[in-house]
Amino acid sequence: MEPLYCTSWGRVEELKRVEGLLPRIGVSVSELLVFVPLEQKLVRVSETKEERVPLEPLHREIHFVQTLPDQRYLLVSAFSGNEGEPNAFVYDREGNRLHSFSVGDGVEDVQTVGGRIWIGYTEDGINGEHPLSQQGLVCLDQEGHLLFSYRQAAQRQGLPEIWDCYAFNAFPSGETWVYYYADHLMARLDGFQIQQFWKGGPVLNWRSPLNRAGGFVLRNRQLLFATPRREVYRASLGQSSLERLKPVDREGKEIRFDRYWTRDSRLFFMQGADVYLADLNSRRSLNR
C-alpha cells in the first residue's frame, strides 16, 4: 500500500473519554468542534489554539455540531419525534441558547457553509413522515427555512431522486457533492442546480467500500475516504480507479485511527486524543 502522509493537527483530551455518550465532532472551514455531552461543553480547536465553551444545558442527544456566522454554533439531533419538534439548536459564543427549529428525522449528516445549513437524510428518514426528510438532501437558512430541495431539483431536471443519502460534501465555493442511492450515483451541485452525474466502475457500485465510508473528501475529481474497518482509499472519478492507502505520520509510522471526519479536501483521523490531518490540497499528504 502507498502511504498517505498526515500532519499532526493537535491533541484534544476530551476525545479519550469512553464512558457514556461519545463526544460529537464537527469540522468547519477552520476549526474542529468537539461537543462533550456529559459536560455540556464545546471545544473549539484550530491549528493555533483551543477554546472551551460551557453550553446552556440541553436535554437532547446531540449527533452533529457546526459553526454559524457571528461565532454561533449549531447543534443537531438526528431524530425528531414529531414534525414540529425542534432538533436543531443555535448557541451564541458564550454558550447561551438563542433559538431552535426542526430539521427533520433520520439525519445522516449536517454541514454549514456561509450560514447555509446542508442536511442529508437516511433511508428511514426519507421514507418517514417529515416533509424535510423526504427531500433526501436540503439546504436551509439560519432560521431553518428551506432554500433548496434535492427532490424538487431532481424532479425538475428529470433525474433520479435520493432514496438514501450515503454522504455529501459542501464546499465554500458553492459546490456540493453527494453520493447516494438510487443506483449509487455521485452528483455535483452548483448554484442549487444538479450539474453532473457519475455512476459505475469500481468506485460507484454496491460492492465499493465507498458505501460504508459515511464521508469523503474531494479535489479535481479525486476522492479520499475511510471506512469503519479503518481502511483508507483513494479513488478517481475520471479514471474509475480505486486503491487502498496506509495513513502514516511524517516519520512514516502507521496511524491506527479510531474515528475519522471529512470536510472539503480534508480528512481528519483520531488516534486516542491525537488528531491528524490529510489534505488533498497539500502535496505533502501524498508525497513525503
**Dihedral angle sign, alpha carbons of residues 8, 177, 259, 15:** positive
Instruction: Clarify whether residues 165 and 104 are in a common domain.
Output: yes
For residue 82, pLDDT beyond 70:
no
The answer to whether position 231 is within a domain reads: yes
CATH classification at residue 148: 2.120.10.30
Q: pLDDT grade, residue 67 (50/70/90)?
A: very high
Q: How far apart are CA 89 and CA 75, in angstroms?
A: 5
Grouping H, G, I as helix, E, B as strand and the rest as coil, residue 13 is: helix
Q: How far apart are CA 176 and CA 161, in angstroms?
A: 16
pLDDT above 90: percentage of residues in the chain: 73
Closest C-alpha among 109, 152, 115 to residue 262? 109
Burial annotation 62-97 (CB, 10 A radius, 16+ → b, else e): bbbbbbbeeebbbbbbbbbeeeeeebbbbbeeebee
| 204 DSSP β-pair partners | 200
Instruction: Clarify whether residues 243 and 191 are in a common domain.
Output: no
Instruction: Clarify whether residues 275 and 135 are in a common domain.
Output: no
CATH classification at residue 239: 2.40.10
91 in Cβ contact with 73 (< 8 Å): yes
Predicted pLDDT of residue 128: 93
Grouping H, G, I as helix, E, B as strand and the rest as coil, residue 152 is: helix
The answer to whether position 208 is within a domain reads: no
For the CA atoms of 26, 27, 30, 31, the dihedral, rounded to the nearest 10 degrees, stands at: 40
The answer to whether position 64 is within a domain reads: yes
For residue 239, pLDDT beyond 60:
yes
For residue 287, pLDDT beyond 60:
no
Whether the predicted model's global pTM rises above the 0.85 cut: yes
Instruction: Clarify whether residues 178 and 55 are in a common domain.
Output: yes
Number of domains composing the chain: 2
Q: Give helix then strand counts, H and E, for the chain.
A: 2, 25
Range of the domain at 259: 1-12+214-287
Among 165, 199, 233, where does a domain finish?
199
The answer to whether position 188 is within a domain reads: yes
The answer to whether position 207 is within a domain reads: no
Q: pLDDT grade, residue 201 (50/70/90)?
A: confident
The answer to whether position 209 is within a domain reads: no
The answer to whether position 206 is within a domain reads: no
The answer to whether position 181 is within a domain reads: yes
What is the tens place of the pLDDT at every residue in 91-150? 999 999 999 999 999 999 999 999 999 999 999 999 999 999 999 999 999 999 999 999
Closest C-alpha among 90, 89, 127 to residue 105? 127
Grid cell 465554500 in the structure block, residue: 172
Instruction: Clarify whether residues 67 and 182 are in a common domain.
Output: yes
Grid cell 476549526 in the structure block, residue: 31
Query: What does the DSSP 8-state code read for residue 38?
Result: T
Q: How far apart are CA 36 and CA 44, in angstroms?
A: 11
